[in-house]
Structure formats: structure tokens, C-alpha cells
Structure 1
Amino acid sequence: MAVIVTFDLPGAGQELYDEVIARVTGGKGFARFADVGDPGLLSHAAGPVDGGFRVTEVWESEEALAAHAKTFGPILADLGHADARPTIIPAHNVVVR
């Protein structure tokens, strides 16, 4: 079952986001899904919120997210955000192009 994942990063900005994405993609950046090595990612959006930065993703399953977290988690920890915990909810409906 698909899941919707939201990461709220208080005190973070676009600089942190860009650094995480650079590390996840080996410096290539993230402009297309082909740039991401994890095939279970269905959608990704990120932007500033009051007091921080938010990332919202849709994954094919919690298992796909868990596989990605093995890469993503240590990067966040290395950048001082080891306490970042996502909100995960089951997706009732997902529409993709």
C-alpha cells in the first residue's frame, strides 16, 4: 500500500535540503525521477514553511521508504538532524502522470 510521508525540519532551509539531495544523488541533484536510485518513490515536493522546511513524498510502500531511509537517515544525522522523524500515513488515493 502506498504511503504519504511528510518531513518537517524546524530551523532548516533550502541550503540543508539542497545538501541532502546532493548527497543522496551523489552530487547530481534531483530534477527528475531518473536522478533518484530508489524506484519506489512516486512523488516528491519540497518547500519552505514558517520556521523551517517541509518535504512531502509518496512511496509505493513502507518497505520502499525503509530501504531509502538507510541512505537518507545517516545523511540527516551527519548534518545535525538525527531527530527528524517523518509523519507517515496510508494513501487512500494516488494520482500520477
Structure 2
Amino acid sequence: MAVITVNDIPGGTQAQYEQIADKVTGGRGLVKGRSDWPVPGLISHAAGPTPTGWFVCDVWESEEAWQRFADILAPYAQEVGMPEFELKVYPAFNVVTA
């Protein structure tokens, strides 16, 4: 079952996001497509600033696929000083891709 992951990161910055993305892509900069992700299963990804920090919302094919990516992501987030945040995971009822 597909899942939606929501990361509202108070105090997170675009610079930290870009540093993490560079690590995720092996030094190629921002993620541009699904093939840039280090694990399969990503359906969609969006990120941007909020009034208090940074926001990331993904849709994954399964919670297991998300967890494989989270295992890679967590050390990078700590490495760049990304503030702690509460991850929310919701079952996806309807997913539409363009």
C-alpha cells in the first residue's frame, strides 16, 4: 500500500536540504528524478520553505520502501545539523501522477 510521508521541520533550511540531497545523489546535487534516489519505491517528492522552517512531502510505494530510504537519510540529516522533527506517515487512498 502506498504511503504519504510528511516532514514539517521547524528550523530546517534550504541549505541543509541541499546538502542532504547532494549526499543522497552521491555528489550530483538536487534530486531530479526517481533514478536519483538510492532506493526504489519513490512515487513523488516535494520540498519547500515554510514560515518556520522546511517541509518535505513524499509518496512511496510502501512503508517498507520509505524505511529503506529513511535508513540512508537519517545519518545525513544528523551530519548537516537538520533539527529533529516528527515524521508523519499516512496511508495513501488515491495517488495521481502526471
Same-fold status (TM-score > 0.5): yes
**Number of aligned residues:** 97
Distance in structure 1 (CA, Å) of the matches to 2:41 and 2:21? 17
Percent sequence identity is 42
TM-score of the pair, normalised by structure 2 = 0.91
Pairwise CA RMSD: 1.3
Instruction: Provide the rounded CA distance (Å) in 2 between the counterparts of 1:27 and 1:69.
Output: 18
Shift, 1:82, TM fit: 6.4
Q: Distance in 1 between matches of 2:72 and 2:60?
A: 15
**TM-score (norm. length: structure 1):** 0.92
Give 5+ residue unaligned stretches, structure 2.
none
> Structure 1 residues 15 and 82, CA, compared in 2 at 3 Å: closer, same or farther?
closer
What is the CA deviation profile of residues 42-73 of structure 1, one whole-angstrom value per residue up to 9, with x for unaligned ones?
Answer: 00000000110000000000000111111001
Distance 1:63 1:43 in 2: 16
Question: Match of 1:37, SS?
Answer: coil
Q: Which runs of 5+ in 1 are unaligned?
A: none
Residue number in structure 2 paired with 1:10: 10
Report the alpha carbon displacement of residue 27 of structure 1 after superposing the two structures with TM: 1.0
Alignment of 1:54-65 (within 5 A): 54-65=55-66
**8 Å Cα contact 1:7/1:85 also seen in 2:** yes
Residue 86 of structure 1 and its aligned partner are, at CA, apart by 1.1
